[in-house]
């Protein structure tokens, strides 16, 4: 699997590390992890300070900062409804951000870059669990094909720079994530934060019912974002290969099971009502993360503990 010798990352705590998207779910978790590990020279820019979709601004930033390591956790991100409603934003902004960051990092001496994609890169009816080599073997899920095409281009860009320039660019494909600093928007978020907020608000108002989208039958694999951050650091240190790596928990639940579990964690006592006018999306997307496991990485947080932890954070930080 290895193509280039890995640039050692972990022992070098004063290394200049640019975490793009550090105020988001994933970026914030990576910053927490790197800070816990003792990294002292993180370079961070909010969207307002640096719009990564603007090529000349990104070039100027890299010329001036010259980060040694780059983790790309900035992207236009959203759940099934947002992906389906704003296809132009999802393809254009993501292509712009990743192209600008990857190219500028290479041109300004970054030693190693990790690009994050998503499990939606795989065909809608991929074999389950989905191995890395299922990429580009069939049609994509229509609700998120625009985002998926951008993410596939990101993987290919890392591979192309690796091949042509012998540059250490790698890609990780996380499954559906959740945790502190998630997006709890009622329509544009992913299922887990959407349901947490809806159940919580229903409990507070004493509502008798909560509406859940789709049929409840799709299966999803969830990973706590602290586990993902741990995997990101692990890949930065241990992996240097052409192929992207899946990052999952290996455990899947139906949306109905997730909703029942959420109801219990939040303490909502009413009923669930299914809105089948909303799309189900991919029927199943359990990833095969055995390649990452064979390198020595395993997830630690169970869905039940992760939900309880995230609800505690929600009560303390969002529901003010
Ligand atoms: N959440 C999930 O379930 C999954 C996420 N991923 C991947 O992980 C990565 C991070 O996702 P996640 O943390 O959930 O997303 P979030 O939306 O929580 O965070 C994305 C971050 O990127 C920033 N950003 C967006 N556009 C720009 C821009 N033009 N310039 C500068 N910064 C920008 C956002 O800032 P602002 O909010 O100010 O715009 C935000 O801080 C993405 O690549 C995503 O594909 C992969 C699989 C699942
Ligand atoms: C991470 C991944 O995220 C997106 O794909 P998705 O997995 O389909 O994401 P989702 O979390 O939005 O939905 C999961 C399931 O849950 C159901 N569902 C029920 N009730 C709500 C609800 O209230 N909100 C949402 N969003 N979904 C709901 C919903 O109908 C669907 O069946 C991609 O677009 C893609 O960008 C991507 O990579």
pLDDT score recorded for residue 184 = 97
Which residue, 234, 194, 220, 205, is CA-closest to 318?
194
Q: What is the pLDDT of residues 18-63, one digit of tens each?
A: 999 999 999 999 999 999 999 999 999 999 999 999 999 999 999 9
Ligand 1: residues within 6 Å at CB? 21, 23-27, 47, 51-53, 73-77, 93, 97, 116, 118, 174, 176-177, 183, 190
Contact between 205 and 148 under an 8 Å Cβ cutoff? The reply is no
* C-alpha of residue 280 to centroid of ligand 1, in Å: 23
Of residues 106, 147, 161, 239, which has the active-site annotation? 147
Calculate ∠ Cα 48-54-58, nearest 5°.
85
For residue 255 and ligand 2, the question of a CB distance below 6 A is answered with: yes
What residue spans of the chain are helical by DSSP H?
A: 25-37, 55-65, 80-85, 87-107, 145-165, 191-205, 225-238, 255-266, 290-295, 303-317
Going by pLDDT thresholds of 50, 70 and 90, the confidence category of residue 8 is confident
Structure tokens at 152: 């596939």
Query: Which of 91, 120, 145, 191 most suits a substitution to test ligand 2, by most atoms within 8 Å of the C-beta?
Result: 191
Annotate 255-282 with b (16+ C-beta within 10 A) or e (fewer): bbebbebbbebbebeeebebeeeebbbb
**What is the pLDDT at residue 320?**
57
Q: Per-residue pLDDT for 250 more than 50?
A: yes
Ligand nearest to the CA of 51: 1
147: annotated active-site residue: yes
Pairing between strand 252-254 and 219-224? antiparallel
Average pLDDT across the chain, whole number: 96
Given a cut of 70, whether residue 6 has pLDDT beyond it is: no
What was the pLDDT predicted at 3? 43
Residue 155: strand pairing partners: none
CA 95 / ligand 1 centre spacing (Å): 13
In this structure, what token pair is assigned to residue 179?
């945790």
In this prediction, residue 187 has a pLDDT band, given cuts at 50, 70 and 90, of very high
Spatial distance between the Cα atoms of 140 and 117, rounded to a whole number of angstroms = 15
Lowest model confidence (mean pLDDT) among 5-9, 29-33, 53-57, 138-142: 5-9
Residues 6+ apart with CB under 8 A from 36: none
- Closest ligand (CA of 154): 1
Q: How confident is the model at residue 256 (pLDDT cuts 50, 70, 90)?
A: very high
Residue 307 CA, ligand 1 centroid: distance in Å: 20
Q: 4 pLDDT band (50/70/90 cuts)?
A: low
- The stretch 264-289 carries a mean pLDDT of 97
pTM of the model: 0.97
C-beta of residue 123 within 8 angstroms of C-beta of residue 137: yes
Is 28 near ligand 2, meaning CB less than 6 Å away?
Answer: no
CA of 77 to the centre of ligand 1 (A): 5
Nearest CA to 179 out of 18, 73, 312, 289 is that of 312
Q: Is 69 in the pocket of ligand 2 (CB under 6 A)?
A: no
C-alpha neighbours within 13 Å on the C-beta side of residue 280: 16
Report the distance separating Cα 292 and Cα 234, nearest Å: 9
The predicted-structure confidence for 70-102, as pLDDT tens digits, reads as follows 999 999 999 999 999 999 999 999 999 999 999
pLDDT band at 211 (very low <50, low <70, confident <90, very high): very high
5 pLDDT higher than 90: no
Q: Are 159 and 107 in contact (CB under 8 A)?
A: no
Ligand 1 atom having least distance to the Cα of 93: 29
């Amino acid at each position: 699997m290895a193509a280039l010798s890995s640039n050692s990352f972990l022992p070098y705590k004063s290394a200049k590390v640019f975490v793009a998207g550090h105020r988001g779910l994933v970026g914030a978790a990576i910053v927490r992890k790197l800070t816990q590990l003792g990294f002292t020279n993180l370079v961070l820019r909010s969207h307002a300070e640096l719009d990564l979709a603007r090529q000349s601004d990104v070039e100027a930033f890299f010329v001036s900062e010259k980060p040694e390591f780059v983790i790309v956790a900035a992207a236009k991100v959203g759940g099934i409804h947002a992906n389906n409603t704003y296809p132009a934003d999802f393809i254009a902004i993501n292509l712009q951000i990743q192209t600008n960051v990857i190219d500028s990092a290479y041109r300004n001496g970054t030693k190693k870059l990790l690009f994050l994609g998503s499990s939606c890169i795989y065909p809608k009816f991929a074999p389950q669990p989905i191995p890395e080599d299922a990429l580009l073997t069939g049609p994509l899920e229509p609700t998120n094909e625009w985002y998926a095409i951008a993410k596939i281009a990101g993987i290919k860009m890392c591979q192309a720079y690796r091949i042509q320039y012998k540059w250490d660019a790698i890609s990780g494909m996380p499954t559906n994530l959740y945790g502190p600093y998630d997006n709890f928007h009622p329509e544009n978020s992913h299922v887990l934060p959407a349901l947490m907020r809806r159940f919580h608000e229903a409990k507070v108002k004493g509502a008798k019912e909560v509406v859940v989208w789709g049929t409840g039958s799709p299966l999803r694999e969830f990973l706590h974002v602290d586990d993902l951050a741990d995997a990101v650091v692990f890949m930065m240190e241990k992996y240097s290969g052409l192929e992207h790596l899946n990052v999952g928990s290996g455990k899947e639940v139906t949306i109905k099971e997730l909703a029942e579990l959420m109801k219990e964690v939040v303490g909502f006592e009413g009923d669930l009502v299914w809105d089948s006018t909303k799309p189900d999306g991919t029927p199943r997307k359990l990833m095969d993360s055995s390649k990452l496991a064979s390198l020595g990485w395993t997830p630690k947080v169970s869905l039940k503990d992760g939900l309880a932890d995230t609800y505690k954070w929600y009560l303390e930080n969002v529901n003010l």
